Amino acid sequence: MLDVATGKTEKGFEGHASHVLGVAWRHEGRTLLSAGAEGAVKVWDYVGGDRKKSIDGWEGEVTSVSYVDYTGNLLTSSADKRVRLLTETGSEVKSFAGASDFLQSSAVSADGNVIIAGGLDGVLRVWDGKTGQVIAEFKAED
């Protein structure tokens, strides 16, 4: 972490085997997630700087990660064409199907009811967070 005013490093978090592609704060401001190109998400204690957990199970880069507001659940997108909702311990809550290529980003509404992701297939997909069903697709125009 950098001090914005001085540009000096305040804290370092080491543990990914490759570059970090996404980060997210938990609402309490003490827990940080990082998504790595080696196919893992790390859960960090920001105050102590210690890694609390490493979550594996992707077949490619984890390209984005975000918390679902106060639930403790997290949403990820990845190169293996999957959008997944997980608990902070790594258990899968739900998977959102439909992507046909490398996913670059994802986002979730604060209440978890709307999931959105896009990638190299040129389609921005919107899912119902409860049912996992695609509710809209926006395709790139030629």
Per-residue model confidence as pLDDT tens for the chain (142 residues):
657 788 877 666 666 667 878 888 999 988 989 888 888 998 988 888 888 898 998 999 999 999 998 888 999 999 999 999 999 899 999 999 999 999 999 999 999 999 999 999 999 999 999 999 999 999 987 5
In terms of Cα–Cα distance, which of 83, 100, 80 is closest to 92? Answer: 83
Determine if residue 135 is left, alpha or beta; phi over 0 gives left, psi from -120 to 50 gives alpha, anything else beta: alpha
Q: Compute the distance between CA of residue 41 and CA of residue 51 in angstroms, rounded to an integer.
A: 11
In terms of Cα–Cα distance, which of 33, 114, 101 is closest to 72? Answer: 33
Residue 35 φ then ψ, to 5° = -105, 130
User: In the chain, what is the straight-line distance between the N-terminal and C-terminal CA atoms, in Å?
Assistant: 41
